[in-house]
Structure 1
């Protein structure tokens, strides 16, 4: 599987990059045209379904999604303690929340802050919010580069909220899923917005080799 960030090391006129770019664009067009086909069923989260979908400052994860994410992270840590990986940390709100839910586990936030939704301003906010949190480690590098750093680390929970196109979500989901402990969970944000149709398609494909645990609007959790 090709790392979308790694391919950008080549010149824009390199045949490998030209071919990959064409594939990426076509893949997202297919995802948009078949958006409804790639929908996963919504699940019943009980009383959590009644939570108002209020916004949270400095993140696109709403309160309902945060509650569902926290609930399942806590459940995983009770039966399968292990490290937590976040791909795409933005301003560190979900990073800190996961660190609070699992204070005995290390949270590895992987984000290079080189654009694609992560700027120097966002990095400064991430650092200010999490500098005092002992169980957060920031790896300032792309997802693919972080794989080597954490190979062999027992990982029980992964949250992916990075570049929202098909090739990136497919790479992030597929690559990190391989490092996930059996019984662990992987979560994806922004799965129900047609603007990010490629995200939905990539998650739908991964779900065929996993178990759907939860799906509330905008958030999917799968178990390995």
Structure 2
């Protein structure tokens, strides 16, 4: 199966972190987004970053910076749409997304998403929380370019919740083990950086 394009979702406002780009905060010897790039790059044919504001602040990464194609920060689905538009222009058939604040996601993310995709090629990652409850991680998904017009129409009519749209299209679920901690632990607050450093010591 061919490698999809990868899109790092960094378009949020990071209000719980005090604003700015969460991905540019330091975690160990690298920034959070460096960890994300290092994990996603080997799994994808090419990478881009979905981010709003001045793209010059991300120029050092040498990756295309894709702003939301819809105004007023409508959420991660707008970043997915921006990625699908970029992929369509390159003649690609699918993208995989990863959040810029989640540095420990699985190194076999893409392979598992492709393996467990639903009939339309959609798939979301999932893991079990501390109580054994299944949690989907909708910013980690496989998204076919063929659905971009449908996604654009849904966003224009007010759709914001990812799983509502993916459920309409019979998305598959790729379940990842969480025995060593949630592989989709994300950094939302300054305190989460301390937790992330602890997790780095156990992985």
TM interval, short-chain normalised? 0.3 to 0.5
Structure-1-length-normalised TM-score: 0.30
Structure-2-length-normalised TM-score: 0.32
> Is the helix fraction higher in 1 or 2?
1
